[in-house]
Amino acid sequence: MILDQINIYPLKSGKGQALTEAFVHPWGLDGDRRWAVVDEHGDNLWLGEFPRLASVVAHSTPEGGLQLAAPGMEPLTVPPATGPATPVGFTGLDKAVLADDTAHAWFTKLLERPARLVWLDDPTRRSIDPAHGGLPGEVVSFAWDAPLLLISESSARALDDWVAEEAAAHGEESPAPLSRLRFRPSVIVSGAEAFAEDGWREVRIGAVPFRVSELCDRCAVTTIDPETQVKGKEPLRTLAKRRKWDGKTWFGIRLVPRETGRIKVGDPVSAR
């Protein structure tokens, strides 16, 4: 197997950024999901409820701030977050650091509701939820339930075929292949049989070993086209018929690094 793609999301729920290589920290890829948007109570404003977040292009600055751009919005450079700590509603984390007022105003305008931008100053403070396979001492950024998410290109192609069959059965126009970014993957691998990853317990990418903490259950975020931010029925409609058990639909696996190190597109991938 080969590592085909690496993606980070500097802003949780924002647009993905493709990389040719990345450093793996205990909490995830360098620069991945250290910023998040919350409401006035500190609860996460998530992509499934606010699809326009997917239009936000966010890039980390060398100084530790964030450059923001989105259609219909003036670009904004956010300085490093130095505000007070504020309570947040993320599992395993009590507080995060507020960005400046210009960032809050920018997201409030974008989402048309009160919003604040926060920075996870120390990702070693957020533990992985044991209910999602976390072990003592394991940590994560603002990502959902594990530092990395892996999907297989073979599995994605099989899903594309199923989606096309489902469309034909409903008399619908044949759809284009699904954007892989719908699944918010950290890494995409090729060369495995479709859904072989369901049985993996250990994965090695280049020289970096990972533990598979759990399969990934899928939510409404996958129904949002990352380019248009339009919601549809797929892939959940098809996954509900083909990949549903324990009351959830499943696609991809969550990974926890066992060691730190650098991974690159083209690295060999092994699993067992």
* Whole-angstrom distance, CA of residue 137 vs CA of residue 228: 39
Q: Long-range contacts made by residues 74-82, C-beta under 8 angstroms, separation at least 24? A: 76/102, 76/103, 76/106, 78/102, 78/103, 78/117, 80/119, 81/117, 81/118, 81/119, 81/121
Predicted confidence at residue 78, as pLDDT, reads: 98
Q: How many C-beta atoms lie closer than 10 Å to residue 81's C-beta?
A: 21
pLDDT reported for residue 8: 98
What was the pLDDT predicted at 209? Answer: 98
- The percentage of the chain sitting over the pLDDT mark of 70, rounded to a whole number, equals 100
**Residues 6 or more apart whose Cβ sits within 8 Å of residue 11:** 33, 35, 36, 37, 53, 56, 58, 66, 68
d(CA 207, CA 194): 24
Q: For residue range 25-79, what is the model confidence (pLDDT) as tens digits?
A: 999 999 999 999 999 999 999 999 999 999 999 999 999 999 999 999 999 999 9
Q: Could you read off the pLDDT of 153-175 as tens digits, one per residue?
A: 999 999 999 999 999 999 999 99
Report field, pTM of the whole predicted structure over 0.85: yes
Confidence of residue 244 (pLDDT cuts 50, 70, 90): very high
pLDDT of residue 133: 95
Task: Write down the pLDDT at residue 157.
Answer: 98
Give the model's pLDDT for residue 204.
98
Q: How far is it, in rounded angstroms, from Cα 6 to Cα 187?
A: 5
Query: 62 preceded by cis ω (within 30°)?
Result: no
The answer to whether 253 and 212 are in contact (CB under 8 A) is yes
Quick one: pLDDT band at residue 113, thresholds 50, 70, 90? very high
State the pLDDT at residue 265.
98
Q: Are 189 and 2 in contact (CB under 8 A)?
A: yes
User: How high is the mean pLDDT of the chain?
Assistant: 97
